[in-house]
Amino acid sequence: MTAKVLDGKAASAAIKAELAERVAALKEKGITPGIATVLVGADPASQLYVGMKHRQSEAIGMNSIQRELPADATQEQVEALIDELNADPSCHGYIVQLPLPKHLDTDRILERIDPAKDADGLHPTNLGRLVLNVNAPITTPLPCTPRGVIELLQRNDYDLNGKHVVVVGRGVTIGRSIGLILTRREINATVTQVHTGTVDMGQYLRQADVIVASAGVKHLIRPEDVKPGAAVLDVGVTREDDPATGKQKVYGDVDPAVAEVAGWLSPNPGGVGPMTVALLMTNVVEAAERAAAQA
C-alpha cells in the first residue's frame, strides 16, 4: 500500500480561486480586502516568505500593504506601527513576521495587535474565545496552520467525526491550538497530545486514526509507529546543511518510509505549508466580510 498524497498545493489553489470570487464581490461593494505585513530587519528567509504572501494576495485582488522597519527599530517604533495598522481602515488583517530582533518584546508587540485584525489567529484574545466556544459559529480569526491541516483533510473527503487524532508537538502555532478546533462539535474528533517529553510516544501513535506531526524533529514518526491506513500530516520542519550542495535542505517530522503504511500522507514541503498561506488570506477576507456586514 502506498499512501494517497494530501496535495496542499492543489487544495490551496482551490481555496485561492474561491477567495478571488469573494474579493471580487467585496470590491463591488466598494471594499478591497487589505492584508499587511510588518517586517523588522532584513532576514532573507523572512523577506522571501513575506514577498510570497504579498504576491499571492495581490494575485487574487487583495490590497497588499508592506511595512518595514530597520533591525535596530525601538520597541516604541514597532508599537507605533502596530497602532497605525490597527487604526487604518484599508487594512483588514496583518501579521508581524517572526522572529523579531532579540531586543524587542515579542509578546508585548503581538498582544498589541487588534484581535479583529489578527491574520495569524494567534492573538491571546482570539485563542481565549476559541477555548470558550465549543458550539457556536466562530466569528474570530482561527489559527492558520491548524485550520490548514483540517481543510487539507476535508478537501480530500476525509471525515474527522469520531476519529482519534494524535498531535505531536506543543508549540502555540499548531500543537497547543489545533486541539481546540478539532474538538469543536462541528468537527467532533478526539485528541491526544504528545511531545518530545512523552514516554513511549509510539504507544499513542499506533492508536491514531490521524497523526499531526509538528514537533520539528527530523523523521520522528517512523513506519512502525503508524497504524496501517492512518492519515499522517507532516507539518514540522528541520533545516540541515547539505554537504553535497552547501545549501540547506528541509526535512519533515515524518520518515519517508511511512508512505508504505499510511493511507493518506501530506508531503513536506508541499503539504500544509501552502495551506497556511491560503488560510492566512482567508482570515483577512473573512475580516473584510465582517467589516462590510457591520458597515
What residue numbers does the annotated binding site for NADP(+) cover? 169-171, 237
Dihedral of the CA atoms 138, 188, 197, 215 (nearest 10)?
Answer: -60
The number of C-alpha atoms within 13 Å of 69 and in the hemisphere containing its C-beta is: 20
Binding-site residue set: 169-171, 237
Sheet holding 4-5, edge to edge: 4-5, 264-266, 231-234, 210-213, 164-168, 190-194
Distance CA 250, CA 234 (A): 12
Active-site entry in 53, 117, 163, 227: 53
Distance CA 78, CA 38 (A): 9
238, 206, 245: which is closest to 224 by C-alpha? 206
Active-site entry in 16, 56, 97, 255: 97
Active-site entry in 16, 117, 118, 120: 120
Active site residue 102: no
Active site residue 97: yes
3-state secondary structure of 241: strand
Burial of 191 (0-12, 13-18, 19+ CB in 10 A): middle
Q: Give the chain's count of helices (H) and strands (E).
A: 9, 11
Active site residue 53: yes
142, 181 contact by CB (below 8 A): yes
Cell 487589505 appears where? Answer: 34
Active site residues: 53, 97, 120
